[in-house]
Amino acid sequence: MDPLKVMLVFGTRPEAIKMAPLVKEFHRHPEIEPIVCVTGQHREMLDQVLAAFGIRPAFDLAIMEKSQTLYTVTSKALLGLEDVFARKKPDIVLVHGDTTTTFASALASFYSGVRVGHVEAGLRSFDKFSPFPEEMNRVLTGRLADIHFAPTESNRRNLAREGVTEHVYVTGNTVIDALKTTVRPDYVFEESILNELDYAARKVVLLTAHRRENYGEPMENIMSAVAELARERRDVCFVYPVHLSPYVRETVQKHLAGLDNVRLIEPLGVFDMHNLMDRVYMVMTDSGGLQEEAPALGKPVLVLRRETERPEAVEAGTVEIVGTERESILNAARALLDDEAHYLRMKRAVNPYGDGSACLRITEDLLYYFGRRAEPAAPFGR
């Protein structure tokens, strides 16, 4: 029997980090021929991940533009994929998560009559506009998908509430698979500044922010709160690998340039990032992926958003949603820096998102779906 032609389509840094271990897993199974197609929605930040994991895409649509819009990303991805699908005729396309690449790729697969599998399915904030446009990207991808790989049981229930009950598999999140290969106690950073910090002697806070719905006043509030915190807490060091979005860079420069206990650095390679997270005191972020990784490493997270589609670690007590108001950010950060009992309560390592075997489960479930295995994998968490 010919191997299954499984095309993995992704375009941004987080999709690449979470799809990379799946590409590796597929290569271990002769029944599967993995084909990687990147849209190039991100360029430098995507290429960093591809290089780190040694992945060479068969197709690269190279669609990124400076200050791109949702319209340009969607239309360029859609048009580029029509040609790729026609040439390669995959048995199934796998997309990941909730970016505009994800939705456009699922739509293109549907238009081309190719089946679609959705990895990291079923996450929901239940607010159409937050995160924007990610909530609708994942809802619409869920409607288009033929097979759904939900990280957690609660993600599966979200799909069931929308009437999606067939071909849904609970697998764990592939990011935990990735994390198991990247974090090492004796790791030496590529970014030399990170080797110079004394993580035991000084509290180091890792900061990231990039969400589109935070552009404008929320992002101004976040940066102004961090600036105030940095001024009042000279003993704390803030490390901020700044996203390449021109809007984010402008706002960061306006508020944080010139503060010597705020280290503004370029986006980090994924090995540096995961090992940095493993060593810092706490994390402040509006990122989705960091909300999964930091709890697994026992680091408290303050989420700089009004909601989350990842309630599991909030329920476990290691993640707190603090919103985007200046005072609430300041109060939550001060509490974690000063109240040791509170810090220790939040610091417990919890890992509701996976056990490191998500990619194997996805492979087995996929083979089962195509009738090449008698049973699906045992679901994660049971």
- Indicate which residues carry an active-site annotation: 98, 120, 134, 210, 212, 243
Q: What is the DSSP code string of 64-128? A: --TT--HHHHHHHHHHHHHHHHHHH--SEEEEETTSHHHHHHHHHHHHTT-EEEEES-----S-T
Stretch that binds ligand UD1, among 67-75, 118-126, 159-167, 354-362 (CB under 6 A): 67-75
User: DSSP strand E in the chain: where?
Assistant: 4-10, 32-38, 59-60, 92-96, 115-119, 147-150, 168-170, 204-208, 237-241, 262-265, 282-285, 301-303, 319-321
Choice between 35 and 209, CB closer to ligand UDP: 209
Stretch that binds ligand UDP, among 77-85, 120-128, 185-193, 270-278 (CB under 6 A): 270-278
Choice between 274 and 361, CB closer to ligand UD1: 274
- Contact between 263 and ligand UDP (CB under 6 A)? no
Nearest 5°: the CA angle 278, 329, 299 is: 15
Stretch that binds ligand UD1, among 39-47, 109-117, 272-280, 332-340 (CB under 6 A): 39-47
Question: Rounded to the nearest 5°, which phi and psi values hold at 338?
Answer: -105, -30
- Contact between 241 and ligand UD1 (CB under 6 A)? no
Q: Per-residue string for binding with ligand UDP, 206-245, x by CB under 6 A? A: --x-x------------------------------x----
- Contact between 133 and ligand UD1 (CB under 6 A)? yes
Q: What is the distance between the alpha carbons of residues 364 and 382, in angstroms, rounded to a whole number?
A: 17
State both tokens at 380: 């994660």
Residue pair 236/202 in contact (Cβ under 8 Å)? The answer is yes
Q: What is the DSSP code string of 269-310? A: PHHHHHHHHHHSSEEEE--SHHHHHHHHTT--EEE-SS--S-
Interface pick for ligand UDP out of 37, 106, 273, 319 (rule CB under 6 A): 273
Q: Give residue for tokens 């290089």.
A: 51
Choice between 199 and 247, CB closer to ligand UD1: 247
Interface pick for ligand UDP out of 293, 309, 312, 365 (rule CB under 6 A): 293
Q: Is 149 helix (H, G, I), strand (E, B) or coil?
A: strand
**Residue 207 binds: one of ligand UDP, ligand UD1, none (C-beta under 5 to 8 A by kind):** none
**Residue 109 binds: one of ligand UDP, ligand UD1, none (C-beta under 5 to 8 A by kind):** none
Q: What is the distance between the alpha carbons of residues 295 and 318, in angstroms, rounded to a whole number?
A: 6
According to CB under 6 A, which residues from 173 to 212 bind ligand UDP? 208, 210
Q: What is the distance between the alpha carbons of residues 298 and 277, in angstroms, rounded to a whole number?
A: 9
Stretch that binds ligand UD1, among 35-43, 179-187, 251-259, 362-370 (CB under 6 A): 35-43
| Residues in Cβ contact with 331 at an 8 Å cutoff, skipping those fewer than 6 apart | none
State both tokens at 316: 């476990």
Least Å distance, CB 264 to ligand UD1, is 16
DSSP label at residue 374:
S
Interface pick for ligand UDP out of 40, 80, 289, 311 (rule CB under 6 A): 289
DSSP label at residue 2:
P
Least Å distance, CB 186 to ligand UDP, is 20
- Contact between 287 and ligand UDP (CB under 6 A)? yes
Interface pick for ligand UDP out of 7, 8, 11, 13 (rule CB under 6 A): 13
According to CB under 6 A, which residues from 77 to 106 bind ligand UD1? 98-100
Residues making contact with ligand UDP (CB under 6 A): 13-14, 17, 208, 210, 241, 267-268, 270, 273-274, 287-290, 293
Residues making contact with ligand UD1 (CB under 6 A): 12-14, 41-46, 64-68, 70, 73, 98-100, 133-134, 210, 212, 244-246
